Amino acid sequence: MTHYLNRTLISPLRTSSLSRPYLMIAISAVFFNTVNGSLLGTYLSSPPAQSFLADAFARLMFWLGLTLWVAGITGNVTHEILNIRRNAKKASDDTNNGKDKPKEEHYAILHGLLYRFISYLNYFCEWAE
């Protein structure tokens, strides 16, 4: 839920619109999440899952999974590519002394933090989540 809250509400509100939203994409997302949530809810409410989840806090794998999830969502938010674009635009505006320029794309080379080790950190961190 935290991942979807970040992906659907927080991230779009933090960034300016880079492209026009399409209705079919929103409909597809609602359909996918309805089916996915229904299947997960059905499984988690089943007796085998209930007996497995009863002692989940006592298992090492639960705590390792929770740690991996926290690292994934922290990395996902920290290394968000749109932050780089926003920072590049801000730096460009600062060097332009606030003068209006035509709207243009701003690009930056990804570096720092974990970008020294992997190029597609947003995908990697989302996968870790």
Q: Mean of the per-residue pLDDT values for the chain?
A: 78
Spacing of C-alpha 106 from chain mean position: 21
Same domain, 70 and 126: yes
Same domain, 31 and 62: no
Would you say residue 4 lies in a domain?
no
- Is residue 94 predicted with pLDDT exceeding 70? no
Would you say residue 7 lies in a domain?
no
Would you say residue 28 lies in a domain?
yes
Would you say residue 10 lies in a domain?
no
Same domain, 72 and 108: yes
Reported as a single tens digit per residue, the pLDDT across 98-112 is 555 555 555 666 667
Q: What is the dihedral of CA 58, 63, 65, 70, to 10 degrees?
A: 150
Contact status, residue 124 vs residue 118, Cβ threshold 8 Å: yes
Domain of 117? 56-129
Amino acid identity for residue 62 in this structure: F
| pLDDT classification of 85: cutoffs 50, 70, 90 | low
Looking at per-residue pLDDT, the higher value among 45 and 95 belongs to 45
Instruction: Look at residue 90 in the predicted model and tell me its pLDDT.
Output: 65
Would you say residue 6 lies in a domain?
no
Same domain, 98 and 124: yes
Same domain, 69 and 29: no
Nearest to 119 by CA among 68, 79, 82: 79
- Is residue 91 predicted with pLDDT exceeding 70? no
